[in-house]
Amino acid sequence: MNSAYSFKIYTTTAQLHSNWDDMAISTVFLSKKYLDVLERSSPENMICHYIGLFENDTLVGIALSQFLDLNKLESFGERDKCIKTAVRNFVFRNFGSHVLVIGNNMLTGQNSFALLDTIDKKRALQVLNTAVTELKQRFKSKGKKIHITTYKDFNCEEIKTFRIPEFKNEYPFSTQPNMVFTINEAWKTEQNYIDSLSKKYRDQYKRARKKADQIEKRKLHLEDIIALEETIYDLYLHVAKNAPFNTFFLPKNHFRIFKEIFKDKFLFYGYFSKDRLIGFNTLIKNGSIMDTYFLGYDESVQREKMLYLNMLYDMIAYSINKGFQEIIFARTALEIKSSVGAKPIKMYGLIGHSNRVANHFMPKIFKYLEPKIKWQERNPFK
């Protein structure tokens, strides 16, 4: 390997190279601002490191790593009480409780690293791999042996860069797709979107809107988020704990910190029934892309008022009105997202276990780590 390439591992955002943000153009989720949010309000079981890649003294790449200690979680998810879930939990507790993610475990999409176009991508990945080895050593010296290392989330083109000897022992996998909603250039208003739906899905839209006509939607400011912090957290936790699988829970102050740092680039909408907060959703402006973030709701109201579906329609309306090109709806609730017009984009990653025998059986173990979800894709357009 050419000695001109090197890396630096940073433990705080204050240490980051002065040119760091020049590299974080592809996504806001590698910017100092966002890493600051993580530093001040990341999940309790997460430790972040920031990696700078250098050619001579020039910063040519940046990357994010997240260490997850799954032993600190009370629950991996409470929805599925079956034998397969029990096996998965056992596997995690005993063979995979220390996970090193190169990327962002809280988001969907390529938020792992950004590299200058002018450099040799494969060389850069070799250096990143060396940095990851060094990170593992650091954790080991503190008594935390890394069991599982994973690189996520890449599209079918991006994953090809990893076809180098350094990654030959990693198991390539494909997880649930990223649901992406592309906004038609011809749409200027929400009505344009509604007009493009087939009768069945126009009826679905009307039915959902009618159900929620007594619910008031409000844009919340920092002081509102602080005032409602307890309720917000309860609503978030209700949804998070009902997910089929969790590797982290946000801390209570997360939304407040996000709003403080991101200001109007972080949108927080509350849904109220008779002045009681019954649900919320959050959005992040990421260049021409709108990223959906965490949400929460009262389950009894959500069913009766079709609250989740209404939230999806609201996100679409806002993004069309503000001229965004696409919405990242991420994973989970694939079918309902598909019913509003989001399309699945296949995502790939690499995973490896520190134990050679376990690594050999990774294709089998992985089936327990990533539960398969059956769903039917919809096409709501004419």
296 and 227 share a domain? yes
At a CB cut-off of 8 Å and minimum separation 6, what does 98 contact?
67, 68, 69, 70, 139, 144, 145, 146, 147, 148
Tell me the pLDDT of the chain averaged across its residues.
Answer: 92
Q: What is the pLDDT of residue 293?
A: 97
How deeply is 114 buried, as exposed, middle or buried, from its count of CB atoms within 10 A (0-12, 13-18, 19+)? buried
Q: Is the whole model's pTM more than 0.75, yes or no?
A: yes
For 222-271, the pLDDT digits (tens) are 999 999 999 999 999 999 988 777 889 999 999 999 999 999 999 999 99
Q: Do 340 and 351 fall into the same domain?
A: no
| 380 belongs to a structural domain | no
Which among 69, 64, 8, 67 is positioned nearest to 35, based on CA atoms?
A: 64
Average pLDDT, integer, range 95-106: 90
Could you tell me if 47 and 121 lie in one domain?
yes
Distance, first Cα to last Cα, the chain: 55
The answer to whether position 381 is within a domain reads no
Same domain, yes or no: 241 and 364: no
365 pLDDT more than 80: no
Amino acid at 116: L
CA distances from 218 to 221, 225, 262, 276 (A): 9, 11, 19, 12
Decide: helix, strand or coil at residue 51: strand
Q: Flag whether 202 is in a domain.
A: yes
- Which pLDDT value is given to residue 92? 58
Same domain membership, residue 260 and residue 209: yes
| Within a domain: 379 | no
Residue 29 to residue 110: CA distance in whole angstroms:
9
Burial (0-12, 13-18, 19+ Cβ within 10 Å), 190: middle
CATH code for position 261:
3.40.630.30
Domain count, the chain: 2
Q: Is residue 89 part of a domain?
A: yes
Looking at residues 321-349, what average pLDDT do you find?
Answer: 96
Q: Domain check: are 152 and 198 in the same one? A: no
Position 364 scores a pLDDT of 83
- Domain that residue 78 falls in: 5-175+347-369
Written as one string, the DSSP assignment of 163-213 is: -SGGGTTSEEEE-SPEEEEEPPTT--SHHHHHHHB-HHHHHHHHHHHHHTT
**One domain, residues 197 and 321:** yes
Residues in the chain: 382
Q: Tell me, yes or no, whether 87 and 211 share the same domain.
A: no
Q: Does the pLDDT value for residue 105 go beyond 90?
A: yes
Instruction: Tell me how far apart the alpha carbons of residues 57 and 35 are, in angstroms, rounded to a whole number.
Output: 23
Looking at the structure, do residues 197 and 150 belong to the same domain, yes or no?
no
* 3-class DSSP state of 218: strand
| Dihedrals phi, psi of 112, to nearest 5 degrees | -85, -50
Residue 162 in any domain: the answer is: yes
Same domain (yes/no): 170, 255: no
- Within a domain: 69: yes
278 domain residue, yes or no: yes
Give me the pLDDT at residue 77, please. Answer: 47
pLDDT for residue 84: 54
pLDDT at residue 370 tops 80: no
Cβ-count burial of 185 within 10 angstroms (0-12 exposed, 13-18 middle, 19+ buried)?
exposed
Q: What's residue 155's pLDDT?
A: 93
Same domain, residue pair 150 and 251: no
SS3 state at 214: coil
Residue 89, pLDDT above cutoff 70: no
- Do 207 and 352 fall into the same domain? no
Instruction: Please tell me the predicted confidence (pLDDT) of residue 377.
Output: 96
Helices assigned H by DSSP within 26-72: 32-41
The average pLDDT across 191-198 equals 98
List phi, psi (to 5°) of 274: 50, 50
For residue 86, what pLDDT is reported? 62
Q: How far is residue 174 CA from its own chain's centroid? A: 15
Strand 276-286 with 289-297, pairing: antiparallel
